[in-house]
Structure 1
Amino acid sequence: MNTLKVVCFVLFFSAMYASAATMKVCIDHYPPLQILTGEPKGESIAVLEVLATLLGHDVEYIPGPNFARCLRMLELGQVDVLAGLVDDPARRTFAHFVPYQEDDSYIFVSRIDTADIVSFGDLEKHVVGITKHTKYFKELEFAQDISKVIIKDIATGLKMLLLKRIDVIVTSAPILQSIQNELGNIDDKIKVNPYSYNTSRQLCFGFSKNSKLIFTADEMFKIKQAAQQQVFSKAIEQFIIANPELYSHVDSSLIMTNKAKQNNFD
C-alpha cells in the first residue's frame, strides 16, 4: 500500500510538472502572422516555436475567435504568452513585454473608384474600418473628425469595403497580401493609397502576469538577448522563404529586405 502511495505521489507531481512545462498561447486566424487552416503556422508561430525552444517549453496553441478574445485570455492568465503585441501602459497592468521585431507601417486600403488618400486629413471624408483593441497610432485613435467603425477582422473589413459599408481599411502590406490570396481576385476592386504611416515601434511578446508559468528574470534576459541577435527576425525570414504563396502579391525578398532594414535593437 505504501509503495502504491509513493507511485501515485510521483505520478501526480510528474503530471503537474508536465503541465507547468507547457506554454499556452492563444492564436486567431490572421495571415500571414497566424494561420489556422490545418496545422498552425505563420510568422508569429515561427517566433513562438523559437521562444518555446529557448525556454525549454512545449507549446499548446489555443484557437481564439479574434484578437480581442486572445488579449482577454492573456489578461485572465488563461494563456501564458501572446506574440505580436504593441507595448502599452494599460496592457502593462496584466503583462510583461519583451520586443522582438520592428512593426510594419500602416497602409490605407479603399475601393478602386475612390479619390486617393494622400494625407491624414483626407480620412475625414471617409468611414474607416478598424479592429477592436488594436493599437494604431494616436492621431487616428483620438481623431474626433474621422468616422470609425469596428470590424471583426481585416477579411471581414474587405468584404464590408466592397459592399460600400465602409470606405477605408487600416492594415499592413503583408496582412493585406495574404488576405487577398484567401479572398480571391479582388485586385481590380481595391487599391492601396499613397498615404501611409510608419509606426516606428516594435512588436513584443506579452507574458501574462497571471500565468501559471513563472518567467524568471534570467529567462527574460535570454529572450532580449536573442532578439538583439535577431534570432526571431531570422525565424520570420525563414518562414517567408518557405511560404512564398502567402506573399504572392509582392516579391517576398522585398519583404525580408524591408524587415531587415527596420530591425534595430541596439
Structure 2
Amino acid sequence: MLKVLILSLLIISCLAQAESIDNNENKQLTMCVSHYPPYQVISSNQNPMGENIAVTRYFFEKLGFTIRFTENNTFWRCLAMLEAGKVDLMSGLLDAPERRKFAHLFAYGSLNEKLFYVNNRKLKNISTFSDLKGLKVAVLRDIKQFKQFDNAPDDYLEKVYVSDLDAAIRVLVAGKVDVFISTDFLYLDKIKNINDEVHRIEEVVVKLDHASLLFTGLSKKSKVAHLEPKFAELSKAMYESGEFKKIINEFKLQYPEYYR
C-alpha cells in the first residue's frame, strides 16, 4: 500500500512539472525503433510493439506524453539520432559511460539470458559465460552484450565484430567463428526457411550469471530533458516495485509467438 501511495505522489509531481512546459509545446515524444524481436517488433502491417516499446509507452503516457515512432532503423542510427537530439527516446540500452554523455538512462528491466548460435555439436553444451573461454565469438559491432562478456580480458576469448545478423550467420556457417551471440529469438527460424546451410546451426539459450540492467535513454537534447530528476525518481520506484516487470509479463502472455 505504501509503495502504491509513493508511486501516486511521484506521478502527480511529474505531471505538475510536465505542465510547466509551454502549453503550446507539443507533448509528443519521438522514439527511435529497430526490429529486434521480442524487444522491438517492427512490421508494415501493425504498430511497433515489443517489451521495450510496451514499457516505454506505458511510462511516458502515464505522465501525459504521447509516443510516436520512427521507421525501422539500425541500432547504430538510433544511437546517433539520440545523441544528436533528433529523437527523444531509445530503449533496450545497456549501461555504458559513453552513452551517459548524451543520454539520461532509466532502468526498467534486466537481461538474464542470451542466445548463443553454434555450428558445432560439440559446443551445444555451452551453458555459462566461462564456456566461451578460448573461443572465437561473433558479435554485432558497438552493441553491448552483458557485463562479463563486454569486460572480458582480451586474452580470454576472441571477439569478431560484424555489421549485422546476416554477416554473423555467414561467418558462423563458414567456420570462421565458433559462436554468435544474439538476443533475437526469431531470427534463426526466419533464415532457415531461405538458406539450407543454416540448418546445421543450433541455438543454445544461456542463463546469465549476472543479469545486466536494461534502460530507456532520454536524449539530453530533448525538450523534456530538464524533467530527468523526476523521471529518474519515478522509474526507479516503478522498477523496484515490479510495475515494469508486470507490463513485460503481460506482453509475453499476449504475444507468446515471439518467445517460442
Q: Same fold (TM over 0.5)?
A: yes
Q: What are the ranges of 5 or more consecutive residues in structure 1 without an aligned counterpart?
A: 1-12, 249-266
Matches within 5 A, 1:163-202: 163-172=174-183, 175=184, 177-184=185-192, 189-192=200-203, 197-202=208-213
Could you tell me which amino acid in structure 2 is paired with residue 219 of structure 1?
A: F
Find the partner of 1:36 among 39, 42, 51.
42
CA contact (8 A) 1:107 1:197 kept: no
Amino acid at match of 2:62: L
Task: Show the counterpart of 1:204.
Answer: 215
Tell me, in whole angstroms, the C-alpha distance in 1 between the residues paired with 2:244 and 2:128.
34
**Structure-2 separation of matches of 1:202 and 1:77:** 24
1:234 equivalent among 226, 246, 251: 246
Number of the residue aligned with 1:134: 143
Q: Which 10-residue stretch deviates more, 134-143 or 68-77?
A: 134-143
Q: What whole-Å deviation, never above 9, does each CA across 1:103-148 have from its counterpart, x for those lacking one? A: 2233432114344546656545533111122223455344323332
Tell me the residue number matched to 2:84: 76
Structure 1 residue matching 2:59: 3-state secondary structure: helix
Amino acid at match of 2:100: R
Q: Distance in 1 between matches of 2:118 and 2:55?
A: 31
Following TM superposition, by how much is the alpha carbon of 1:22 offset from its aligned partner in structure 2, in angstroms?
A: 1.1
Mapped to 2, the partners of 1:218 and 1:138 lie a distance apart of 28
| Greater gyration radius | 1
1-side partners of 2:167 and 2:95: how far apart?
26
Letter in 1 for 2:59: L
**Within 2, Cα distance between the matches of 1:24 and 1:147?**
37
Task: Specify every segment of 5 or more residues in structure 2 that has no aligned partner in the other structure, as ranges.
Answer: 1-21
Q: How many residue pairs get matched?
A: 230
- Tell me what 2:97 maps to: 89
Shift of 1:63: 2.9
Provide the C-alpha distance between the structure 2 equivalents of 1:74 and 1:57, rounded to a whole number of angstroms.
18
Q: Is the 8 A contact 2:146 2:211 kept in 1?
A: no
Structure 2 SS opposite 1:104: strand
Deviates more, 1:183-192 or 1:157-166: 183-192
Q: 1:65 to 1:161 in 2, by over 3 A?
A: farther
Q: Shift of residue 68 of structure 1? A: 1.6
Residues 155/242 of structure 1: CA separation in 2 closer, same or farther (3 Å cut) = farther
Question: Please, which of 114, 117, 121 is the counterpart of residue 109 of structure 1?
Answer: 117
- Alpha-carbon shift at residue 92 of structure 1 (Å): 1.3
CA distance in 2, matches of 1:47, 1:245: 19
- Give percent identity, aligned residues only: 29
Match of 2:75 among 46, 49, 67: 67
